[in-house]
Each structure stands twice: as structure tokens, then as C-alpha cells.
């Protein structure tokens, strides 16, 4: 497997990133361990999580995903050396716990290091922009973590093109570490904002893109084709509400055709399409079973020809 550079950083990552949002939530610890083991055994090394995962679930306080990953790493067997661990800071974790102030970053990183049971985080990301905190303060705080050996590289998530450009300029002007990666929403359905505004900037500045929702919260797998398909799932209901429309069905039809052409599945094709797009370093996708993980592994090996890419481009183009 050919790894890819993450921005201008020394980090070399597999061309697909395993999303850790499900660990300790819809994937229990035993299942999560099996998925992580299979991921590494298949030759992949990139795992993404966040301190806030999975605070939204009833009875959860955040940190559940990092805790599961930490317990998996603690089993030994060279696991830590085989993976690039990315986590995030910024979303609210409780009263006064959130944002990108230097004070909170200093506390949050220690909490993440403890839960992950590691000495250093490979990629530490600003999970969401904080316009109440000066970029200089945030970047200086990250710089101190890198200097202390607690973080190797930094990235941004959910930043607009304007704010990412401003952050990169601030880093250059002050001689501070810069965001080497961007984690935006991007998939066959959600294309316009990224391609129009963020992609040109990321290509110009050599910022590696590790986009989330590569499968549009499961919609692009083809499992939601009518409202009733989401009847048993709150997440599915939200997915159907956003994506199940004329354009969404047109994309699914193209995915079906592409899957038939390639002897594959819609999910594999949707991920392969993203992997082939400019600026993309490693799309993020989650799995709650070994069967779903195998789909991701197979997707990483699928190369779409020009005709198939054009078919998908046409079907997903926004008016």
C-alpha cells in the first residue's frame, strides 16, 4: 500500500482513514478492538477520533472513543508504532470546557493523552473554528505542545476557506506551526462548498484533506432508498431527510451503474471516487462490524476509470 504525505508534515498515512466516532458508541469495546486489529492487519495506519466522541449519546460525557482506542493500544504488540492517531479539541465538553483558548487546549490535550494512553498525539486538530479566540493564541498554544513533544502536527476541521487562509497566513507571519490538514464535509452529494472554496486553497498551500462523511452518513451505500428504510434509526431519519431527494436518487442510480460496471458495491464506488479527487489525502469512513470494515478495505483497492468518474461527476453535479 502506498502511503500519502499529510500536508508538509512528516506524517505518512494510509489512503483511507478509519473514523473512531463509533467506538464505545454503536461499536462496543470488543467489536472496536476487532475492527482496529483488522484495520492494521489489512495494512492501514490512520485512525481519527475526537475528545467529544460520543458525548451526544445518552449517558455519555465525551472521551468514550479515545478511551477505547487507548485500551486497544495498551494491549501492546507494537500497536502504537503501527498507527497514526488523530484526535481533536474544540467542541464543548461541559461547562467552560470547549473552544480553542490556550488554557483549554492545555487541559484538553492532557485529557486526551490520558484517555489514549500515549505520550504524543500524531495529529491534533482544531475541531471547530473559535472566532472568540485570536488565531495567534490558538496557534501559539499548539506550537507549545509540539515543542513539548506532546503533538507531532496540527490540523483544522470545519474551517471556512477564509479562516483557513487566515490561519495559514498567521502561522507564516509569526513563524508558528501551521495546519497541515483540513477535515471538511465532502462526498459525492456534498461537493459545492469544498470544490469551489476549499479545494483550490488546499492544493495551493499543500494542505492534506481528510474529509468526513465520505458515505454521506450511510446514504451513498444505498441502504436508504425510501423513507421506510430509516424507520428504526434516528440517524437514518436525519440522513433520509437531507439526502433522499431527486438529486440523491440520481446519484444512487449512477452508483448502482458504476458498481455493476466494476463488479463492486455503491459504497466502495463512492469512497473510491473521493479517494481519486484532487487534494484528498485520506477520506474518513467508519465501520461498526468486520463486514463493513471489509467494504472499506475493498474500496481502497478500487480504481475507477475515466468514464466511470465522469458518470459520477455528471450525476452529482449541482445545478
Digit-coded pLDDT (tens) for 78-125: 999 999 999 999 999 988 899 999 999 999 999 999 999 999 999 999
What is the Cα–Cα distance from 64 to 213, expressed in whole angstroms?
A: 20
pLDDT at 301 over 90: yes
Kindly write down the DSSP assignment for every residue of 274-297, as one continuous string.
HHTSTTBS--EE--SSHHHHHHHH
Q: For strand 151-157 and strand 121-126, is the pairing parallel, antiparallel, or unpaired? A: parallel
% residues pLDDT > 70 (the chain): 99
88 contacts 127 by C-beta, under 8 angstroms: yes
65 — pLDDT class (breaks 50, 70, 90): very high
pLDDT (0 to 100) of residue 138: 98
Catalytic-role residue among 53, 124, 159, 243:
53
pLDDT at 291 over 80: yes
User: What fold does the segment set 4-225+265-304 form as a domain?
Assistant: TIM Barrel (3.20.20)
Cβ-based neighbour number of residue 111 at 10 Å = 16
Averaged pLDDT of the chain: 96
Domain spans of the chain, in order of start? 4-225+265-304
pLDDT digits (tens, 9 = 90+) for 207-238: 999 999 999 989 999 998 988 887 766 677 88
pTM: 0.96
Asked about 53 being catalytic, the answer comes back as: yes
Task: Single out the residue of 256, 208, 197, 171 nearest to residue 13, CA to CA.
Answer: 208
Q: In what order do the strands lie in the sheet with 46-48?
A: 208-209, 179-183, 151-157, 121-126, 84-89, 46-48, 17-19, 284-285
Amino acid at each position: 500500500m502506498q502511503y500519502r504525505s499529510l500536508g508538509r508534515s512528516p506524517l505518512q498515512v494510509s489512503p483511507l482513514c478509519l473514523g473512531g466516532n463509533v467506538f464505545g458508541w454503536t461499536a462496543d469495546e470488543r467489536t472496536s478492538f476487532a475492527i482496529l486489529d483488522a484495520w492494521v492487519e489489512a495494512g492501514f495506519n490512520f485512525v481519527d477520533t475526537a475528545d467529544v466522541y460520543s458525548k451526544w449519546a445518552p449517558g455519555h460525557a465525551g472521551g468514550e472513543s479515545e478511551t477505547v482506542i487507548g485500551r486497544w493500544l495498551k494491549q501492546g504488540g507494537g500497536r502504537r508504532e503501527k498507527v497514526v492517531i488523530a484526535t481533536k479539541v474544540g467542541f464543548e465538553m461541559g461547562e467552560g470546557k470547549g473552544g480553542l483558548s490556550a488554557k483549554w487546549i492545555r487541559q484538553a490535550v492532557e485529557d486526551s493523552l490520558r484517555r489514549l494512553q500515549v505520550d504524543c498525539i500524531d495529529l491534533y486538530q482544531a475541531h471547530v473554528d473559535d472566532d472568540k479566540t485570536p488565531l495567534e493564541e490558538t496557534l501559539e498554544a499548539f506550537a507549545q505542545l509540539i515543542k513539548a513533544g506532546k503533538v507531532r502536527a496540527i490540523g483544522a476541521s470545519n474551517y471556512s476557506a477564509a479562516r483557513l487562509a487566515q490561519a495559514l497566513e498567521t502561522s507564516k507571519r509569526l513563524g508558528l506551526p501551521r495546519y497541515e490538514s483540513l477535515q471538511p464535509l465532502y462526498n459525492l452529494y456534498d461537493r459545492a462548498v469544498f470544490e469551489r472554496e476549499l479545494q483550490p486553497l488546499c492544493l495551493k498551500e499543500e494542505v492534506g484533506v481528510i474529509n468526513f462523511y465520505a458515505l454521506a452518513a450511510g446514504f451513498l451505500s444505498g441502504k436508504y432508498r425510501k423513507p421506510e428504510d430509516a424507520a428504526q434509526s434516528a440517524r437514518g431519519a436525519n440522513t433520509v431527510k437531507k439526502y433522499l431527494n431527486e438529486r440523491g436518487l440520481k446519484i444512487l442510480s449512477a452508483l448502482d451503474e458504476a458498481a455493476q460496471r466494476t463488479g463492486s458495491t455503491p459504497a466502495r464506488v463512492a469512497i473510491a471516487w473521493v479517494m481519486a479527487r484532487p487534494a484528498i489525502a485520506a477520506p474518513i469512513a467508519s465501520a461498526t462490524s468486520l463486514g463493513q470494515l471489509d467494504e472499506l478495505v475493498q474500496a481502497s483497492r478500487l480504481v475507477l476509470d475515466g468514464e466511470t468518474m465522469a458518470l459520477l461527476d455528471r450525476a452529482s453535479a449541482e445545478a
